[in-house]
Structure 1
Amino acid sequence: MNYATQHYIGNYKPTRTKKTKAFAPTIGRVRQLDAKTKGRKRSAERQAEIRTDSHAANGFLRCSFLPKLQETQTVQACKKSEKTERDFYQSLSKLSEHYGIQPIQSRQYGYPYNMALALDDTQEQLRNKVRDWEEIRLIQDSKKTYFTSEERYSTGSTLYYIPVIPLYRLSKNPKRKQAVQLLQSVCSYLYHTANIPYYRQECSYLYWIYEMVSEWVLCDDEAEETPIYISEIKQAEQIGEFMEKKIYSHYNLSRFKERLNGIKIKDSFDHDCFKLACEAFALYEEFPNKTIYNSARPNGEADEDDMENIVSMDKYVSFCADAKGLLFQALFDSVNTELQEYGQMEEPIILKRFDGSDITSITLDFENRVFDLIEELIYILNNF
């Protein structure tokens, strides 16, 4: 899986707020920002020890009893802590049942150390057992205390750009006819069902990037590389239009199973294409209505004013013309520069609440499988 993991977006790390003044190198992640979002952290200081004073008797004589108002407030505070503790363990029980973990016995340690101990142990178990677990939070509102959990498929700030020109070239080899048909079925599934944008669609992000790069080439003074750029631009447009018609055909999906059953595997390349197509067909049958956007959320806290500062998924998952040549390098540089200006990314994320309401049964199994599929497809197309 070399290709998809080699082309990253800027120098990105999530849950940051401020931007650096200098740009990061081209090959990296979305650029690192300065200040971390403030959140709960465990204090490095130990709780102050309480001991009986050597002059306890004299101290008692010097003290007065609490006024009735203060006594009432103390009782209310105790009741509040009792409710918090009760809500905590009720929510923890639901969370543990959902994820199939065994919470540590901590009630005997007393409030609030018992809760801190249980929380730390729960985080460790989830980290070791749940594939996409990101974090749990303890929420306390005016009514109750409860856990929320976040599961996230980390895309690693990777550009998942699927090249179609290699598939066109492969189709010119008569010995690869069956493999090409399988790959066309895979691309058709990603196009129609998974809803991956195609760079020749005017509404797509890469359409705008290709147009911008083309204008730069045509408007600049002619250089030694200009004819190469123009040739690659024409190929990207003409072959792109042709391949979209091929991929768009629903015939690829209606004959998908028949193509799988009819292929005669001659070598390792055919085997790789067959294995990839089997996984795509399984996804097509198991998740007939699921797209890559179903669980897309900003990977940090965001409100309506922040939406323009988020890299949406269609910007880094798309069909493209080619992954080689001067045009792609210019396109990659343009995308990288553009996306460096964003502070967050959309990623597949599921949030679950353990407050007594129904707990969603949705998982990120589809996302794990479909992004692995895309990486493998990119690898095959760039290395046949």
Structure 2
Amino acid sequence: MDAKTQGCRRGTERQTKISTNTYVTDGFLKTYFLPKLKESKTLQACGKSEKTERDFYQSLSKLAEHYNIEPMHTTQFDYPYNMTLAMWDAEEKLKQRVLNWQEIRLLQDSKKTYFISEEKYNTGTTLYYIPIEPLYQMLHDPKRKRNAQLLLSVCSYLYHIADIPYFRQENSYLYWMYEMHKEWVEEDDTEEEEMYKSEFSKAEMIGDCIEQKIFNSVNLQVFQHRLSAFKSRDAFDHECWQVACTALELYIQYPQESIFRNASVQHDPNNEEDENETIGMEKYISFISHTKGWLYESIADSINNEFNEYGTMQEPTICKCFDGRDIMNTSLNFENKLFALLDDMCSLLYNYETTRK
């Protein structure tokens, strides 16, 4: 009993090797598991019928052809899983293929069941305000006058063709904001009142001056010549040249397109309830005096407070109906390029002062 226990030794003989005919890991990865999907409210409302399913697949085929995707074969499954699975598959493929894809909806009226797709340019919470005071300063800077002339052509395109609102136009949103803040300053009896009034006078004077210049259509006539003759000497020159190239390309490719061409909601300015529910594009896209200093910060605070009261935002949107009628081959390519141009233009003018020597 007190002898030392002998431990179990491992034998030299090994278990016969047994393996599958193929690699197990590869086999697992190649296995396709269908998702467990919840039936949508739309499908619940449609109800089962041969016509519903026939219309569904006909509309799906048109949608797939338009967007050049290959739909999953789901007709072998029972209703409603077949249609739910087909919708899920189409959505996943559209997310990957269509840049501005937003959603697809299945509608049913008294005649048929069909898809509607929605494409939208997402502007986020960006204020696309192009400051013109830096351009005014550039015109009076001997080292940057050539830059200013080139950017005048860009601004003329944005003003005349892209239809960007200008803050000195009485029907513009920012005109009303400037007037409101000007009245507040005049009502306040403070030591800074005269300084504040001078800021408004400066904004109005420079605003009228620059509008008069970009209103001149000659800027568009000589756009190509100015760009061809422009020589880049430093990084700022190159940035101006790139912005101008983009603008000229848009002007040539879309000579009559406005930034509001695909506005998602048509506003009635006399409908106060409509104004309180949606932020119109004209409110966050505009030329502005400046985007620095107390005046802009004061106006921006008022705008942000007002926007917080809104429920939705107007954005460039395209809806396509796949009900058997011809489908317009429209896209948001213009908006993708134009909003990128506005971003670059805003940054260029905002940062101009830091490049001055």
TM-score range, shorter chain: 0.7 to 0.9
* 1:157 shift after superposition: 2.5
Query: 2:203 matched to which residue of 1?
Result: 236
> What is the identity, as a one-letter code, of the residue corresponding to 2:290?
D
| Distance in 2 (alpha carbons) for counterparts of 1:339 and 1:287 | 31
State yes or no: 1:259 paired with 2:191: no
Partner of 1:42: 38
Aligned match of 2:162: 194
Shift, 1:109, TM fit: 1.3
Identify the residue that residue 78 of structure 2 maps to in structure 1: 110
Amino acid across the alignment from 1:228:
M
Question: What corresponds to 2:246 in structure 1?
Answer: 279
Counterpart position of 1:374: 342
Structure-1 residue corresponding to 2:6: none
Structure 2 alignment gaps of length 5 or more: 1-36, 41-45, 353-357
Shift of 1:343: 1.6
Greater relative CO (CA pairs within 8 A, separation 6+): 1
Map Cα deviations across residues 250-285 of structure 1 (whole Å, 9 max, x no partner): 111000000011011101111111111011001111
Match for residue 178 of structure 1?
146
Contact between 1:179 and 1:270, CA under 8 Å: does it hold in 2? Answer: yes
Counterparts of 1:296 and 1:162, CA distance in 2: 20
Q: How does 1:276-315 map to 2 (within 5 A)?
A: 276-298=243-265, 307-308=274-275, 309-315=277-283
Mapped partners of 1:314, 1:109: distance in 2? 49
| CA–CA distance in structure 1, aligned partners of residues 53 and 229 of structure 2 | 62
> What's the counterpart of residue 185 of structure 2?
217
**Cα distance, 1:341 vs. partner?**
2.2
Q: Tell me the SS of whatever aligns to 2:264.
A: strand
User: 1:292 is aligned with what amino acid?
Assistant: I
**Which residue is 1:68 aligned to?**
none
1:197-232: CA deviation from partner (whole Å, max 9, x where unpaired): 110111111111101101111110113x43432221
2:129 to 145, 150, 161: 161
Q: How many residues align?
A: 306
**Structure 1: which 5+ runs fail to align?**
1-40, 45-76
What SS does the corresponding residue of 1:212 show, helix, strand or coil? helix
Aligned position for 1:28: none
Q: Give the match for residue 203 of structure 1.
A: 171
How many Å apart are 1:43 and its aligned residue? 6.1
SS in 2 for 1:271: helix
Question: Using the alignment, how far apart are the partners of 2:305 and 2:193 within structure 1?
Answer: 22
- In the TM superposition, 1:298-337 aligns within 5 A as 298=265, 307-308=274-275, 309-337=277-305
1:72 is matched with: none
SS in 2 for 1:107: coil
Percentage of identical aligned residues: 52
- CA offset digits 1:98-136 (Å, max 9, x no partner): 001000111111222111111101000001110000000
- The structure-2 alpha-carbon separation of the partners of 1:252 and 1:305, relative to structure 1 and needing over 3 Å to count, comes to closer
The separation in 2 between residues aligned to 1:81 and 1:182, in whole angstroms, is: 63
Partner in structure 2 of residue 47 of structure 1: none
Q: Is the 8 A contact 2:39 2:81 kept in 1?
A: no
Q: Quick one: structure 1 residues 306 and 134, their matched pair in 2 at CA, closer, same or farther if it must change by over 3 Å?
A: farther
- Separation (CA, whole Å) in 2 of partners of 1:314 and 1:242: 22
Distance in 2 between residues matched to 1:267 and 1:360, nearest whole Å = 45
> Structure 1: how far apart are the matches of 2:110 and 2:217?
53
- Within the candidate set 302, 310, 313, 1:345 is matched to 313
1:270 is aligned to 237
How far apart, CA to CA, are the structure 2 residues paired with 1:306 and 1:338?
A: 14
The CA distance in 1 between the partners of 2:211 and 2:90, in whole Å, is: 49
User: Structure 1 residues 271, 95: closer, same or farther in 2, change over 3 A?
Assistant: same
The separation in 2 between residues aligned to 1:297 and 1:110, in whole angstroms, is 37
Q: Deviations over 1:302-346 (max 9, x none)?
A: xx8852222111111000000011111111112122222222221
- The residue aligned with 1:84 is 52
Q: Which one has the largest radius of gyration?
A: 2
For 1:121 and 1:311, how far apart are their aligned partners in 2? 33
1:141 aligned onto 2:137: no
Q: TM-score, normalised by structure 1?
A: 0.77
- Shift of residue 298, structure 1, vs aligned partner: 3.5
Output the aligned Cα RMSD: 1.9
How far apart, in 2, do the equivalents of 1:198 and 1:243 lie?
10
Output the CA distance in 1 between the equivalents of 2:351 and 2:257.
Answer: 29
Which portions of structure 1, spanning 4 or more consecutive aligned residues, are displaced by more than 4 angstroms? none
TM-score by length of 2: 0.82
